[in-house]
Structure 1
Amino acid sequence: MRDLPDDDTWITDRRRAIGDHLRQERRRQNLTQDQVWQAARVDRRTLQFVESGAEVKLSTLLRIAWVLEVPLGDLD
């Protein structure tokens, strides 16, 4: 088991990496944000938040990952 770092900047970095990964995958599939948020049944702004690395609910990530056919474990 490892200890947490002294500050939480690593969390922000990981969220950004996940958002970048989802954006890259969406673009690789030639999908627009509109197509993805509608298919995932989330709000447009929510998808924008996810791609920017904002904190979102796990269920939102699951919906978007499902639509893009990306396992959550691959988002790291």
Structure 2
Amino acid sequence: MPSEQPPWVHHRRQAIGARIRAAREHANLTQERLGELVGVDHKTIHRIEHGTSDPRLGLLLQIARAVGVAPGDLVR
């Protein structure tokens, strides 16, 4: 059974989520449209943007492409 993650992990997820949200808004995409582009529902996008869910690497790469930024810009 995995142990609880340290608080800094949650803070990093929130920061990454905020960058994803900002990039999505800059690209003039709704959560629904971004979800359609990357093959997930808008609730998944919402959870990622609010730091309550970790996107898989493949999904993160798709999100970065859909919003027009380098993946590293989202996770810096």
Q: TM-score range by the shorter chain?
A: 0.7 to 0.9
Gapped regions of structure 2 (runs ≥ 5): none
Runs of 4+ in 1 over 6 A off after TM superposition: none
Question: Hey, what does 1:48 align to over in structure 2?
Answer: 46
Question: Hey, what does 1:60 align to over in structure 2?
Answer: 59
CA distance in structure 2 between the aligned counterparts of 1:71 and 1:20, rounded to whole angstroms: 15
Cα root mean square deviation, aligned? 1.5
TM-score computed with the length of structure 1 as normaliser: 0.79
* Residues 3-40 of structure 1: CA deviation (Å, up to 9, x unaligned): xxxx7211111111110001011112221111111011
Larger radius of gyration: 1
TM-score computed with the length of structure 2 as normaliser: 0.79
User: Equivalent pairs: percent with the same residue?
Assistant: 37
Gapped regions of structure 1 (runs ≥ 5): 1-6
